[in-house]
């Protein structure tokens, strides 16, 4: 799991940079979600998803009201950070996948990679591409997660 996550950073952060303190989800949630694609290919996705769910709920119990889109400083001493930003962020992308389909989501991520490669992207720019690609369903998922409520 860790190996796949760190390899995924060769795309998310190594090719598309972002502000890791203000918006850590932009690379960490993407690296976690896309590492799940590798785990899926290895037949280990159900176990991984169960881990994401447990980790997210543990994070929510430690920092009630926090969302995957929060900055690093929303998690004093790192409490709940991994569960909410990494696992919750991966579940956010998984909800998007459920709404728009995997292939359209991956096309949107390729567009994001193409438009921001070797640059610095913001969360708003990534969300804009996801809204464009996923329409009303994606907008509902995004707004739900931003409110701290899974749709």
| Site residues for Zn ion per CB under 5 A | 28, 31
Q: How many CA atoms lie within 13 A of 52 on its CB side?
A: 25
In the bound complex, what is the minimum distance in angstroms from residue 33's beta carbon to Zn ion?
11
Closest C-alpha to 134, from 102, 104, 111, 113: 104
Identify which of residues 14 and 50 has a Cβ nearer to Zn ion in the complex. Answer: 14
CB of 60 closer than 8 Å to CB of 84? yes
Identify which of residues 28 and 95 has a Cβ nearer to Zn ion in the complex. Answer: 28
In the bound complex, what is the minimum distance in angstroms from residue 71's beta carbon to Zn ion?
16
Residues whose CB is less than 8 angstroms from the CB of residue 123 and which lie 6 or more positions away in sequence, other chains included: 18, 23, 25, 26, 69
In the bound complex, what is the minimum distance in angstroms from residue 142's beta carbon to Zn ion?
21
CB of 66 closer than 8 Å to CB of 74? yes
In the bound complex, what is the minimum distance in angstroms from residue 126's beta carbon to Zn ion?
16
CB of 95 closer than 8 Å to CB of 142? no
Identify which of residues 18 and 67 has a Cβ nearer to Zn ion in the complex. Answer: 18
CB of 66 closer than 8 Å to CB of 56? no
Identify which of residues 6 and 132 has a Cβ nearer to Zn ion in the complex. Answer: 6
């Amino acid at each position: 799991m860790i190996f796949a996550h760190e390899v995924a950073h060769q795309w998310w952060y190594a090719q598309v940079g972002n502000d890791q303190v203000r918006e850590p989800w932009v690379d960490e949630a993407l690296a976690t979600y896309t590492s799940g694609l590798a785990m899926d290919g290895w037949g280990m996705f159900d176990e991984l998803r169960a881990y994401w769910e447990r980790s997210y709920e543990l994070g929510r119990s430690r920092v009630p009201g926090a969302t995957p889109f929060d900055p690093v400083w929303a998690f004093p001493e790192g409490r709940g950070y991994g569960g909410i930003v990494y696992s919750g962020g991966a579940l956010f992308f998984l909800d998007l996948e459920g709404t728009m389909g995997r292939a359209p989501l991956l096309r949107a991520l390729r567009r994001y990679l193409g438009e921001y490669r070797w640059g610095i992207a913001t969360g708003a720019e990534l969300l804009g591409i996801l809204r464009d690609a996923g329409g009303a369903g994606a907008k509902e998922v995004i707004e739900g997660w931003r409110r701290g409520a899974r749709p």
